[in-house]
């Protein structure tokens, strides 16, 4: 079977966590109200903690408003936070509170992460970032043929494993042809590694 490759590579407009020199790039097309994206979120967090500078994570909006009525507004809130250099703080708030994405909640998160709330409110009221999000959505739909979320790519190749830490690490191990990530060879070793990580956090 032919692998599906990302057509539009990582660029300066993307939201990126991690160095450009990282051997692994994980790119997600996500929707803040999508339950599967919500389940993928803690898995990505665990993998980021394990791999540190060996992972570059990229997030692109793909709000499916037909199914998720608050998704576009949440994406606007994330972009408004990004304009104040706090995209990732808002990204985390939104995924941690997927059941609360109405405007009153978005303003609460803005206060909690220390945004200039007047500027944030103005950006939401004026839909400052709406056209850009819609434009990016159309590019994703027509260029990449994205139809659902989460859709993820590892080093530019479509990721088709499960959206849990263990399966993600297995795929990363395969994608890391240089062996830089120092991950265990087998599923059992990966499972033990994740258990140790979780115990340290308890």
- DSSP for 113-154, written as a single string: TT--HHHHHHHHHTTTTHHHHHHHHHHHHHTS---SS-EEEE
pLDDT digits (tens, 9 = 90+) for 87-132: 999 999 999 999 999 999 999 999 999 999 999 999 999 999 999 9
- 36 pLDDT band, cuts 50/70/90, is very high
Position 202 pLDDT exceeds 70? no
Backbone dihedral region of 110: left (phi > 0), alpha (psi from -120 to 50 degrees) or beta? alpha
pLDDT digits (tens, 9 = 90+) for 132-145: 999 999 999 999 99
Tokens of residue 23, six digits: 């051997």
Residue ranges of domains in the chain, CATH in brackets: 15-201 (3.40.30.10)
Tokens of residue 5, six digits: 């490759």
């Amino acid at each position: 079977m032919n692998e599906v490759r990302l057509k539009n590579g990582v660029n300066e407009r993307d939201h990126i966590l991690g160095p450009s020199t990282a051997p692994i790039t994980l790119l997600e097309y996500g929707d803040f109200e999508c339950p599967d994206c919500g389940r993928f979120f803690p898995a990505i967090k665990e993998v980021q903690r394990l791999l540190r500078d060996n992972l570059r994570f990229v997030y692109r909006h793909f709000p499916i408003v037909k199914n998720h009525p608050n998704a576009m507004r949440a994406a606007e809130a994330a972009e408004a936070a990004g304009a104040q250099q706090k995209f990732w703080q808002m990204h985390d708030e939104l995924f941690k509170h997927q059941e609360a994405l109405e405007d009153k909640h978005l303003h609460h998160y803005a206060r909690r992460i220390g945004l200039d709330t007047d500027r944030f409110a103005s950006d939401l009221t004026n839909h400052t970032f709406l056209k850009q999000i819609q434009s990016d959505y159309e590019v994703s739909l027509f260029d990449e043929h994205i139809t659902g979320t989460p859709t993820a790519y590892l080093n530019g190749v479509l990721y088709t494993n499960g959206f849990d830490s263990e399966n993600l690490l297995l795929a990363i191990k395969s994608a890391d042809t240089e062996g830089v990530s120092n991950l265990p060879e087998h599923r059992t070793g990966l499972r033990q590694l994740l258990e140790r990580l979780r115990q340290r956090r308890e």
